[in-house]
Structure 1
Amino acid sequence: MKRLQQLAQHDAAFLLLFIFLVALSLRGPVTGLPPLLDRISTDLNLSSSQSGLLTSLPLLAFGFFAPVASWLTRHFRIERILAAGVFLIATGMIIRTLGSISTLYSGALFIGAGIAIGNVLLPSLLKREFPNYVVQLTAIYVLMMSVGGFLMSSLAVPLSLYAEQPDVSLPMSGWSFALACQSLLILLPLVVWFSGKITQGQIPQTSLIDISSSVWRSITAWQVASFLAVNSLINYVVVAWVPAILIHHGYTDSTAGLYQGYLQLAGAIPSLILAPFINRLGSHRRLCLCATGLTFLSLSGFLFIPSWSGFWSVSFGFGISMGFILGLSFVSLRTNSPKQAASLSGMAQLMGYTLAAIGPVLIGALYDWQHSWNAPLYIMIGISLVWMGLGWLASPQQNNASTQ
């Protein structure tokens, strides 16, 4: 019996390692590209709209492949689907190092499909295998996502600069070399998977996402879903364009990439603070005003006090992540059943990824038209005010509030 317990603990440790390494690859492949966009655009002669599409394509794939990932769980084990998702991410990252606009777009689609699988299935795997430690492990899982985003964002430009040194001879451009180096991080969960030490669970009999038409007729559901959707819009627009905004204000591309890394790293802090205590902190509206207000302040700071951009990056990462965690909690607090919560989550995901995919392209087109980041920032500040109002409406007035 003791030997069986030791084997179970050993298997659980390898499964946890696999989960955390998968989480490490769910944010960086998207956030690690924007610091290189200026170099890529110059090298390939891209417009701002074309550059924005590079960050929007993965988001479109998120929305398209999320229900596909749920459907696959009816026929395959979750661990195998996750391994396939990581393989898709790695394939996409390798494809986009080939140095053309077509391979960049193709790689983005592969990456988006793989990340969609991870986004849908990792939380389910945690609940299935570690039901007594979901909150703690989710906090670490979100932290790993932020660490992956920080590493790829902050190292992108230094790796590109290294490849461009006169004494370094490589058969690829500097930005291609940086993207190739990023792909090495994605190979880690595959190494753990192919070690053969992960015990696979049973095939679930039901789909993870069940979108009910009744949720779409609920005012409360629209408030919660809109709050999460606007959160995604603001987050992905800023992730896509904050390096270009900082470069416009006189920062070097290395510093701009580092500050975006700060933004990603700061996003891990609220998950560790709020996740264990979300049901004990009293007024959700007060917390929501804090998150949305901090985001509004940060966007205003990028526009009016750009010399403090390092601080604004940290405060934005904290505020937008805090809002995301609160929004996820509202999905549970304002629904009556797991099925209804899944329906609301699916509704928010569809709306959020659509807005997040369109946003960077439209903001890039506005910059092309105005040749200034002032108008885009004013619009984002206005959207953050709308988000603040949605947060007030979406927040439950009491902990047992449910969808009307």
Structure 2
Amino acid sequence: AGAAAAEPNGWYGAIDAGYHTLGDVETISQTTNAAFDIATDGDWAAFARLGYRFDQNWRVELEGGYRQNDIELIDRPGPGGVPAGVCNVSPAAGDCLAPDGELKAATLMMNVLFDFGSEGDALRPFIGLGAGVNRVDTNFVGTFANARGVGVGADDSSAKLAAQGIAGLAWAISDRAHLDLTYRYLVSNMEFNTFTSTAASAIGPFQGRYDESHTVTLGLRYAFGADEPVYVPPPPPPPPPPPPPPPPPPPPVAQVPAAREFVVYFDWDRSDLTAEASSVVVVRKGVRDEAPPPPPPVAQVPAAREFVVYFDWDRSDLTAEASSVVTQAANYAKTGRPTRVLVVGHADTSGSAAYNVGLSNRRARTVADALVAQGVNGGVISLDGKGETALARPTADGVREPLNRRATIGINFR
């Protein structure tokens, strides 16, 4: 199934209609040994529900229901000597046909339901349990099968505790509306008083089991709870200031000539310089050692920097804004020769700890693949997944916090 928008938490209402069938209702008199098995035809049922969704899986609802079945047969399983079943009133002779009558049940139930899958799934199965009250109206009129001249009937109701099991499949047709295909199995007890046309034929009140109640309905459920506020992630941090310009190269050091000794010779008993001595004393122009060239300037290394990429709830694909942050990180990494790029994925606490570790690893992998696709050397990229162990904003377990759904990109050049 394709993805659908998430149903908001909060209140919802629903109506259902469908088909109801009831197994044989076995009853027995509380004052005599008379017993009746009441068989019914399948008929319609309808329900109205008001519920509240707590999170993506759990919800509760108050349900009012109505089930109706026409009586097809009232038979007697008891011993001989007891009036044997109930026939039609008219004609009073001939075949024993079904008496006129019906069983109508009105229920008020409190249900607890669990929706499988994730809130964005278009098709979601669900199960549930319910408890409440079942009021059964018993109404029929006829004659005893072995005494067609004696009339017998009932027009009574009883309210008893009831329980039901629920299973179904919900189809999201919008972010607020669902079609619910629902099966209900209801069990309860029932009682009713009888009347006869002669006092001698009285058979007293009856009690029995109203169970094997099967209902299949199709309904519309609409959520009118408040939408979650749209989260706007904070803007990325401003880029760091440009690095200061490199210092100017030191001035060249003047080359100092090596020490040297010269010898000047004189004539005997003379102190004036001869021509040869003068040539030794005179410093010859242009004789000096060249100074070495200045050292080359040191290449400027970019500063380490971290980028933060935010994700939608329970998603590991990049939004348009997240892709923009990854592009900024890739461009910055390509301004130098990074020695290490560490991508760390994180998750909030809305899922299980094990699931969140896997989700954070998928987020880190998505960011790393996007960096490589934009020219960053994959050999220097390392991955890590923290799950819900390193929250940017601490929360209780089960809280969806947008600041915690992130991946960080740490870029180092040293």
TM class by shorter chain equals under 0.3
Greater strand fraction, Structure 1 or Structure 2: 2
Whose Rg is larger? Answer: 2
Greater helix fraction, Structure 1 or Structure 2: 1
- Alignment TM-score, normalising by the size of structure 1: 0.18
- Alignment TM-score, normalising by the size of structure 2: 0.18
Which gives a bigger RCO, structure 1 or 2 (Cα 8 Å, sep 6+)? Answer: 1
